[in-house]
Amino acid sequence: MTAIVIIPARYDSTRFPGKPLAPLNGKPLIQHAYENSKKSKLAKEVMVATDSKAIFEAVLGFGGKAVMTSSSHASGTDRIAEAAASLDYDIIVNVQGDEPLIRPEMIDDVIGLLDDKKAAMGTLVKKIEDPKEIFDPNVVKAVFDRDRFAMYFSRAPIPYHRELFSAKVPKCQSAKDSTTTELRNYGAKELFMYKHIGIYSYRRDVLLSLAKMDPAPLEQIEKLEQLRALANGFRIKVKETSFETVGVDTPEDLERAKKWLNLSS
């Protein structure tokens, strides 16, 4: 099977306008995601799909490939589907343009998940180690079955540990609450809780089908696109990763990414 990485990138962002072109250690943010994706052993090509002429020209400027897409897309999934429709690849990998620390091994992992013929999509999870992430709605949690197929994704703490959480939650309503140390003392690793890492592999026909479907009710409630796939019977295979990523949604996140890059260099 042949695979391509498509990086969706839009210029207009509510919290961080022009984010893909924000400088990070001398390169635009999108270039970090692109160059790391190029190191994948299994993806044959990398491309940026954008609705911005500035982003398009920036990608061409550093020697990358880019395609212009419609400005009306409501999601990155829709954007990469438009690009994928004219391409002849079996597997499409969605790498977020605001993930400068994406590892090529992660891309190869999600491509490899589709060796399982029962899998329509592949994605990654990482065991939660910081108790603050358990109650943070910005950290999406995932549960999966014994065959490593996703059962659900949620911003809520799932699975809900009734005996432990019922005693702790009243004192841990805020992720900033210092009483999360009680959960830390228990050991977050022992809670069998996983966070979702937002990289996806799709079979091409699955991606194109999803882009034509209406948003699912649970998708609209949680604001999680992957729930559209589950609601329509598509199976998502998951693999645990040891790698951490740093998503950049705000200028503050950009500073955090700079620290990570400096530590890893």
Q: What is the pLDDT of residues 168-196, one digit of tens each?
A: 554 444 544 544 555 655 555 567 899 99
In a domain, 105, yes or no: yes
Count the domains in the chain.
Answer: 1
Q: What is the pLDDT of residue 179?
A: 41
What are the angstrom distances between the C-alpha of 176 and each of 78, 120, 194, 195, 249?
Answer: 35, 38, 20, 18, 19
Which whole number is the average pLDDT over 117-131?
A: 95
Look up the CATH number of the domain holding residue 97. 3.90.550.10
Which whole number is the average pLDDT over 145-151?
A: 98
In a domain, 186, yes or no: no
Q: Which domain holds residue 31?
A: 3-123+196-253
In a domain, 142, yes or no: no
In a domain, 98, yes or no: yes
Which whole number is the average pLDDT over 37-66?
A: 98
In a domain, 49, yes or no: yes
Give pTM, 2 decimals.
0.90
Q: How far is residue 179's CA from residue 210's CA, in Å, rounded to a whole number?
A: 42
In a domain, 210, yes or no: yes
Which whole number is the average pLDDT over 209-214?
A: 96
Specify the DSSP element, H or E, that contains 94.
strand 91-94
Q: Is residue 218's pLDDT more than 90?
A: yes
Percent of the chain as helix, strand, coil, to the nearest 5? 40, 20, 40
In a domain, 139, yes or no: no
Q: What is the pLDDT of residue 175?
A: 43
In a domain, 184, yes or no: no
